[in-house]
Chains A and B, each alone.
Chain A
Amino acid sequence: MAALEIDNVRKVFGGKTEVLKGINISIENGEFLILVGPSGCGKSTLMNSIAGLESITDGQIRIGGEDVSGRSPKDRDIAMVFQSYALYPSMNVRDNIAFGLEMRKVPKEDRLNEVNRVAKMLQIEHLLDRKPSQLSGGQRQRVAMGRALARKPKIYLFDEPLSNLDAKLRVEMRTEIKKLHQNLGTTIVYVTHDQIEAMTLADRIAVMKDGIVQQFGTPQEIYDEPANIFVAGFMGSPAMNFIPAPIQKEQGQLVAKVTTAGGQTYSLPLGKRGENLEKYEGRKVILGVRPERISEVNITEVEREDVVVVKTKTEIVEPTGPDTLIHITLNGVEVGCRVAPDSAVKAGEDMEFMVDLSKAVFFDSETEARI
């Protein structure tokens, strides 16, 4: 059964600012949903609407099949972790975690047992008597999670829970949250603007922009089959290359033409990826290729039909450790390529690249939608 259904939800602030413009999302029990999108796109507003902290203008929100649109937050059986943690400053950690149980009239003994269980799970037993002001950022984060976990609600909401932590701690907590989800099998809605967090944690991702869900799917779908240029550009780092390229027919096969900075023109065969492109013959489309699909020449793969070798001048060479990012120019736009560090040349020198089109995507240059 669907744990959470968001059905055509709209939210208008003050009668004029439409922040959510008809959101449709549905997730199953135990799924990990990530809402991702640029700042101001309405993620927090959607979270607050799910929690009941914000009323919705239109549409319906169902939890476990029941319409909760009109219910107050406390009657929705939801727990939320806030970006600022929102720990009660005057209470120690124990009381912070137990507060929700106390409000729900759980007997004192059960409350203490529950606090101890959660504290053990999150390894914060030694912090129980401290005030929030005596905790580090990472510890506060854990306590905030503990407070949410203590009540065993139907759904957990996380609004950018890791964005106030430093990079190292963020990666650690990310893993920990993933572990927690696997062990507890809870339904989680999680907001982030970090696309790596989105890819690593999610069962499903909803990519939002301007109050509209641009695409809703599994991480792999979002990554490999982005619905439009916005999604393609937002997910993945370094970002996907967008190369405007004319489509032509050569020997009965559709190809995309690319020209290097040196003036050399190559034909990239579209193969199976070009199935829907017949009607674009003779027109320009936007060819999307991720940097890892433009690499150094590799003997075993170069024979494939959907692989083309392109030789051109390298412009910028950026070593990142595990691989090196090289910038070249194709059809007048900058294109990033990801190569093995050993095969990288110096900036300004010529190098042969292998363009792998097996995962290439094409966008209409007018609508920016995927073809």
Chain B
Amino acid sequence: MVNHHMAQRTWGFWINRGIIHALLISAALFYLLPLVVMLLTSFKTMDDIRAGNLISFPAEFVIEPWIKAWSSACTGVKCEGVGSYFFNSVQIVVPAVLISTALGAINGYVLTKWRFRGSELFFGLLLFGCFIPFQVVLLPMAQTLGWLGIANTTTGLVLVHVAYGVAFTTLFFRNFYVNIPSELVKAAQLDGAGFFKIFWRILLPISGPIIVVTIIWQTTQIWNDFLFGVVYGSGETQPITVALNNLVNTSTGVKEYNVHMAAAIIAGLPTLLVYVLAGKYFVRGLTAGSVKG
């Protein structure tokens, strides 16, 4: 009787497992397929591309498309590849991510541990900032950048991304800190620590998960941004997403799919890398509500 029952459960268990795995694997394949096609195509010669089908292996592995994409493909009038734009993006992303994350952390700290009259309203308005579509801010922001004299500069783009990102980073940190017992701050106050000491010594050391979440989120958002880049950047300062678009849309000559694919992968690599390196912290940070004291 007992054995029979157990056997039944085991059967059901394996069937369930099988179904779940089949679903997961097909989902993974579905999402991986474009990447695989891109990778394969980027190592083919143009003849190979014309002859074969999308998912066939390259008849001959060639690295030239990558070199060309990086250093000599035409993006509009210039033919210097996407390499320099890659560094443009780095110069925009690194300061924008760091500044918006730092501001978000301080904001979250104040909004939860040093509440002031109207701080809830302030947070509500800030939250509203998360839902403002890009298009709405385009013109006023252009005007502002003009007034500040930083139109078409990297600094200008950094400012735009910081302003737009602070709503999100504040939300992240605020929701994290609201679960940290306020008694920690009270205890530190009695111990003689001030506003920044408490932040630096007590809260920041336990903020690891949410810092990772915020950095991943901001890096992905800013690196992948196209609209702000195309509107507020120009020529020398444009990010790689804009360069990629220009490369693909350059209408002279044949479409070099292998070069396009290589350039697209180069453009997508950093976000991919960030997620692979820190993805598990991302998931952990999103689900971890509080730190037990």
Q: In the complex, which residues of chain B have a beta carbon less than 8 angstroms from the beta carbon of A84? A: 181, 183, 293
Given contacts A100-B192, A103-B197, contact A86 B291 (CB under 8 A): no
Q: In the complex, which residues of chain B have a beta carbon less than 8 angstroms from the beta carbon of A230? A: none
State whether the Cβ of B184 lies closer than 8 Å to any Cβ in chain A: yes
- From 83 to 100 in chain A, residues with beta carbon under 8 angstroms from any chain B beta carbon are 83-91, 99-100
Interface pair B183/A82, CB less than 8 Å apart: yes
Interface pair A133/B202, CB less than 8 Å apart: no
Q: In the complex, which residues of chain B have a beta carbon less than 8 angstroms from the beta carbon of A147? A: 187, 191
Chain A, residue nearest B189 (CB):
A73
State whether the Cβ of B292 lies closer than 8 Å to any Cβ in chain A: yes
Interface pair B191/A99, CB less than 8 Å apart: yes
Task: Among A51, A83, A90, A132, point to the contact of B190 (Cβ < 8 A).
Answer: A51
Chain A, residue nearest B293 (CB):
A89
CA distance A6 to B181 in the complex (A): 28
Interface pair A88/B188, CB less than 8 Å apart: yes
Interface pair A86/B192, CB less than 8 Å apart: no
Q: Which of A48, A74, A83, A147 has the most CB of B within 10 A?
A: A74
Task: Among B181, B192, B201, point to the contact of A104 (Cβ < 8 A).
Answer: B192
Q: How far is the CB of A53 from chain B (nearest CB, A)?
A: 5
Given contacts A84-B181, A84-B183, contact A90 B206 (CB under 8 A): yes
State whether the Cβ of B9 lies closer than 8 Å to any Cβ in chain A: no
Q: In the complex, which residues of chain B have a beta carbon less than 8 angstroms from the beta carbon of A133? A: 292
Interface pair B293/A90, CB less than 8 Å apart: no
Q: In the complex, which residues of chain B have a beta carbon less than 8 angstroms from the beta carbon of A83? A: 183
Task: Among B183, B186, B188, B293, point to the contact of A99 (Cβ < 8 A).
Answer: B188
Q: In the complex, which residues of chain B have a beta carbon less than 8 angstroms from the beta carbon of A104? A: 192
The number of chain B residues with a CB under 8 A from chain A is: 19
Q: In the complex, which residues of chain B have a beta carbon less than 8 angstroms from the beta carbon of A51? A: 186, 190
Interface pair A89/B187, CB less than 8 Å apart: no
Q: In the complex, which residues of chain B have a beta carbon less than 8 angstroms from the beta carbon of A132? A: 293
Given contacts A86-B293, A88-B184, contact A103 B202 (CB under 8 A): no
CA distance A234 to B201 in the complex (A): 43
Given contacts A80-B187, A100-B192, contact A87 B293 (CB under 8 A): yes
Chain A, residue nearest B193 (CB):
A103
Q: In the complex, which residues of chain A have a beta carbon less than 8 angstroms from the beta carbon of B184? A: 86, 88-89
Task: Among B189, B190, B202, B293, point to the contact of A85 (Cβ < 8 A).
Answer: B293
CA distance A87 to B206 in the complex (A): 12
Q: In the complex, which residues of chain B have a beta carbon less than 8 angstroms from the beta carbon of A82? A: 183, 186-187
State whether the Cβ of A173 lies closer than 8 Å to any Cβ in chain B: no
Given contacts A74-B192, A104-B192, contact A86 B292 (CB under 8 A): no
Interface pair A86/B205, CB less than 8 Å apart: no
- From 296 to 337 in chain A, residues with beta carbon under 8 angstroms from any chain B beta carbon are none
Q: How far is the CB of A48 from chain B (nearest CB, A)?
A: 8
State whether the Cβ of A78 lies closer than 8 Å to any Cβ in chain B: yes
Task: Among B183, B197, B206, point to the contact of A86 (Cβ < 8 A).
Answer: B183
CA distance A100 to B197 in the complex (A): 12
CA distance A83 to B186 in the complex (A): 12
Q: How far is the CB of B38 from chain A (nearest CB, A)?
A: 43
CA distance A65 to B186 in the complex (A): 24
Chain A, residue nearest B197 (CB):
A103
Beta-carbon contacts of A91-135 to B below 8 Å, as 1s and 0s? 100000001100110000000000000000000000000001100
Chain A, residue nearest B183 (CB):
A86
Interface pair A74/B206, CB less than 8 Å apart: no
CA distance A80 to B181 in the complex (A): 15
Chain B, residue nearest A79 (CB):
B190
Chain B, residue nearest A99 (CB):
B191
- From 183 to 233 in chain B, residues with beta carbon under 8 angstroms from any chain A beta carbon are 183-184, 186-193, 197, 201-202, 205-206
CA distance A72 to B192 in the complex (A): 9
Q: What are 13 A-to-B residue pairs whose CB atoms are below 8 Å? A: A48-B186, A72-B189, A73-B190, A74-B190, A80-B186, A80-B190, A82-B183, A82-B187, A83-B183, A88-B188, A89-B206, A99-B193, A103-B192
Given contacts A80-B186, A82-B186, A147-B187, 19 further A-B contacts (CB under 8 A): A51-B190, A53-B189, A72-B189, A73-B190, A74-B190, A79-B190, A83-B183, A84-B183, A86-B184, A86-B187, A88-B184, A89-B293, A99-B201, A100-B190, A103-B191, A103-B192, A103-B197, A133-B292, A151-B191
